Each structure stands twice: as structure tokens, then as C-alpha cells.
Amino acid sequence: MALLTAVLELTGYLRSPLLPDLAAHSLLLGGRLAIDFANIPSYPGAPAHHLSWEELIVFLRDSRIVSEDRGVNLLALSGSDPDAAQTLLSRSVRLRDALRKAFSAIVRKEPIAQEWSDPINQILRITEGHDELVFEGTSWKMEFKAREGGLDWLLAAVARSAAEIIVEGARARLRTCANPACGLFFSDKSRTHRRRWCSMAICGNRHKVSSFARRHAS
């Protein structure tokens, strides 16, 4: 346990849930964007059904949906435009909870309820738009222009990733961590398809240590 704590402190994962800031980090071990999103807030001991504005922004920053600077600006939004922040946060929680239900069903080889696709479709619809050529000082680039304003486009890539996983179904090789107290989702991309843990450092080693202790106690 002391070793685990040391590992987590070193990697910056162990932070008080009461003091989230942009120095905190999301655990991105799901292997795909929508899986990592379903896992947030994903640090050990995080209350599973809670999600703060800060934790959402940290995820958007860590998964490179927004830049560090944009993350800092967004963080301030909960003070400057609380309604906009609250709307995005509620949409995010609704999307995350639907993904958890759909992904659990895929893991258990059960059917996915129609209603779980609603929050995904809602984001896909809102984030309709088009690409536009934009000249940036020295070169041209393509930039996505959302049809509607607002912040929902921040969830567009997550919704698209989620839709792809649901279409793939069993082929997405979705799993939940073998530690029953953990429950994080991941995509098993290992060659042998026998990955058991969200992370060896967090849950795999803990399991090894406890079975070692059990063997020596008996």
C-alpha cells in the first residue's frame, strides 16, 4: 500500500478531490477517448458519480481536446459564465453516465438500450458543422466550424468515439478492470487479449501484493 501511494504521488495522480486544479491529471488508460471519458473522474478514491468543472477541464486538457491556455480560460468560465459552465457540465455527466451503461452492457455482452444513445446523438446533432479553409499567417489549414455556438463542440470528439465503439460492439474489446473496487473501463489492445488491469501500477501490483501476503499468511 505504501508502495502504491509512493507510485501515485510520483506520477501526480494522488491529489485531494477537494482541491482539483489544472496541475492534477486524468488517468488516461482506457486506450480510446470515449472510454477515458466514461472513466472520469479517474483517480483512485474519486467518488464515481461526481464530476466537477475542474475535473472536466483537466480531462479535456489531458486528452488534448483543448490546449493548456484554453483550459485555463475554460476553468475561469465557472465564475464568469456559470450558466454556460453548468450546461456543459450537465451534458457531460449525462453523456458519461450513458457511456458507462452502454460500455457495461458491451462488456457483459448484453443489448444496449436505445435511450443510452440519446445523449450521444444529442451531441452529434448539436455539433453539426463544416470544415472551412483558414489562412494562418503563413499557411492554410482546415478548421471545423460548428453550426451552433456554445461549448457542446468540446464533447464532439467524445461522442464520435463513443458512437464508433458502440458500432464495433464486441470488436472494441471493452473490458472492466479485474479489481472489483476499481471498475475502470479499458480497451484490450494486448496481443494475447488477456489484459486484466486498468493499470499494472495501480491495480495489478496491488493484486500481486495481496496474493503474496495471502500465500505467506497461510
Q: Which residues bind Zn ion (CB under 5 A)?
A: 177, 179, 182, 184, 198, 203
Q: Which is nearer to Zn ion, 17 or 44 (CB)?
A: 44
List beta partners, residue 141: 134
First to last CA, the chain: 20
- CB of 35: closest distance to Zn ion in angstroms? 13
- CB of 202: closest distance to Zn ion in angstroms? 6
In angstroms, the CA 28 to CA 185 distance is 10
In angstroms, the CA 34 to CA 18 distance is 25
Angle at 187 between CA 181 and CA 190, to 5 degrees: 105
- CB of 192: closest distance to Zn ion in angstroms? 19
- CB of 68: closest distance to Zn ion in angstroms? 28
Q: Which is nearer to Zn ion, 65 or 177 (CB)?
A: 177
Region of 174 (left: φ > 0; alpha: ψ -120 to 50; beta: rest) is beta
Q: Which is nearer to Zn ion, 72 or 178 (CB)?
A: 178
